[in-house]
Structure 1
Amino acid sequence: MAVHDLRFVGVENMTTALAGMGFGLALIVAIGAQNAYVLRQGLRGEHVGAVVAICIASDAVLITVGAAGLGGLIAAHQGVLTIVTVLGAAVLVAYAVLSARRALRPGALVTSTEGARVSLGAVAGTTLALTWLNPHVYLDTVVLLGSVSAAQGDGRWWFAVGAVLGSTVWFCVLGFGAAALRPVFAKPMAWRVLDGVIAAIMLALAVKLLLGLAG
C-alpha cells in the first residue's frame, strides 16, 4: 500500500471516529436522570470520580455491544425491556420522592458542606441503577448507535471509539466541571431549586416510561 493510501485510510478512520463522537454526544447530552445525578454529585464534590468512571465504563460496554451487532437481539426481547422499564420507573419515582423531600424540607438539604455524606456504595448503586435500569440506554446506545455504526462497514469500530470518546469527554466535563458552579450553590435556596427540578425530571421520565408501556 502506498504512502498516500495509508494517509487516506488514516483520515477516513479519523473522520469516522469524529462522526461517532458527534453522534454519541447527540444521544447523551440531554436532560435525563443519569445526567442530573452526575451534575448533583459534581456539585456536592462527593465520589465524583467513581460516578464518572461508572458512567463512562457503562457507555463503553453498551457502545461495544451495539457495534458488535447485538442491537437486534436486544430489540427482539421486548419482555426483558418491559421488566427493565418497570424497574427503571420505580427507581426514578423513588429518587424523585427523595429529591422532592430535600427541596420541600430545608432540614433535609444535603450540600457539599452540610449534612451527612452518602457512602460510596450507595452512590455507586444509584449510578448503576439510573444507568442500567433505563430502557432508552439500550434502544439508543445499543440499537440505534449500533445500527448507525454497522452502516460504517469496516469503520464501525472507529465509529464506536469516537462514541466512547464523546461519552468520556461529556461525563468528565459534567462531573468535574460542576465544581465551577459551587459558589452559586453556596445558598441553600439554590439546592432547593435544583432538587425540585431533579424531582420533576425524574417523575416526568418515570411517567413517560410507563406511558410507553401502556401505549
Structure 2
Amino acid sequence: MFPVLLTGLVTGLSLITAIGAQNAFVLRQGLVRQHIGYVVLICIAGDVSLINAGVAGVGAVIRSHPTVLEVCRWAGAAYLVWFGVRSLLAARHPRTLTSQGAASRGSVVGAALAITFLNPHVYLDTVLLLGNVANQQGATGRWWFAAGACLGSIGWFTTIGYGARLAAPLMSRPVTWRVLDVLIGVTMLTVAVLLLTG
C-alpha cells in the first residue's frame, strides 16, 4: 500500500502548496510568531477532517446541496476582501518584526477558522477532488491514499508555519514587510475575485 500512500501524499501536496489565502495567512503568522501553534493546528485539523469526509463520501452530499458552497463563496469572498484591504493599508506604514502589534489569541483563531472553512476551494479540493481520487483506489486503498494526503497537509503547514522564523533576519527590514503586505493583500483580493467570478 506504500505506492497508494505516496500517491496521496503527492496529490495532497500538489493541491495545498499553491499560493493562496490560507498559505499566506499561515506564513504571516509564522513570521510574526503569534499563536502559530493554534494556526497550524487549525489548518491541519481542517484539512484532515475534510479529506476524510471526502473519502467517506460527503462529497456526494455537497454536490447535491450547491447552496452550501454558494454561501461559503460569498462569505469567503467578503472576508478575503476585508483581509486584503487591511494588508494593503498596512503596507502604507512599513513595520519590522519587533513593531508588529500583538493580536489576541481569539482574533487569530477566528481568522484561521474563517480562512480555512469559508473558502469553497477547500471543499472542492479536499472533499470533492481528493475524495474522488481516493475512492478510485479501492475499499482499503482509499484510506491509505487519505493517510498520504493527510501527511502532506501535516508536513506542509508545520513547515511553513514554523519554518517562517528562518526568514526573521530578512523580515527585520521595514521594506520587506511592505512587500509582504502588498503580496498578501493582492493574493487575498485575487482569490476573492476568483471566488466571485468562477
Instruction: Give yes or no for the alignment of 1:97 onto 2:82.
Output: no
Instruction: Give yes or no for the alignment of 1:123 onto 2:108.
Output: yes
Give, in angstroms, the shift of residue 75 of structure 1: 1.7
After superposition, the C-alpha distances for 1:146-197 in whole angstroms (9 at most, x for unaligned) are 0000000121011101110000000011000111111001001100110001
Query: 8 Å contact 2:32–2:100 — kept in the other structure?
Result: no
After superposition, the C-alpha distances for 1:60-93 in whole angstroms (9 at most, x for unaligned) are 1000101101112112211111110000000000
Aligned structure 1 segments of 4 or more residues deviating by more than 6 angstroms: none
Partners of 2:13 and 2:154 in 1: how far apart? Answer: 10
After superposition, the C-alpha distances for 1:117-153 in whole angstroms (9 at most, x for unaligned) are 0011100100110010000100110000000000001
Equivalent AA in structure 1 for residue 169 of structure 2: P
Equivalent AA in structure 2 for residue 144 of structure 1: L
Instruction: Give yes or no for the alignment of 1:144 onto 2:137.
Output: no
Equivalent AA in structure 2 for residue 139 of structure 1: L
Tell me which residue corresponds to 1:207. 193
Unaligned 5+ residue runs, structure 2?
none
Query: 8 Å contact 1:75–1:139 — kept in the other structure?
Result: no
Partners of 1:182 and 1:194 in 2: how far apart? Answer: 13
Tell me which residue corresponds to 2:161. 175
Give, in angstroms, the shift of residue 56 of structure 1: 0.4
Tell me which residue corresponds to 1:189. 175
* Amino-acid identity (%): 52
Partners of 1:102 and 1:36 in 2: how far apart? Answer: 15
Deviates more, 1:112-121 or 1:198-207: 112-121
SS at match of 1:104: coil
TM-score (norm 2): 0.97
Partners of 2:129 and 2:101 in 1: how far apart? Answer: 41
Q: CA RMSD in A?
A: 0.9
Tell me which residue corresponds to 2:117. 132
SS at match of 1:74: helix
Query: 8 Å contact 2:97–2:171 — kept in the other structure?
Result: no
Identify which of 98, 111, 117 aligns with 1:113. 98
Q: Are the structure 2 counterparts of residues 186 and 80 from structure 1 closer, same or farther at C-alpha, using a change threshold of 3 Å? A: same
Once the two structures are superposed, the pairs formed by residues 5-24 of structure 1 within 5 Å of their partners are 13-24=1-12
Equivalent AA in structure 2 for residue 185 of structure 1: M
Report the structure number with the largest CA radius of gyration: 1
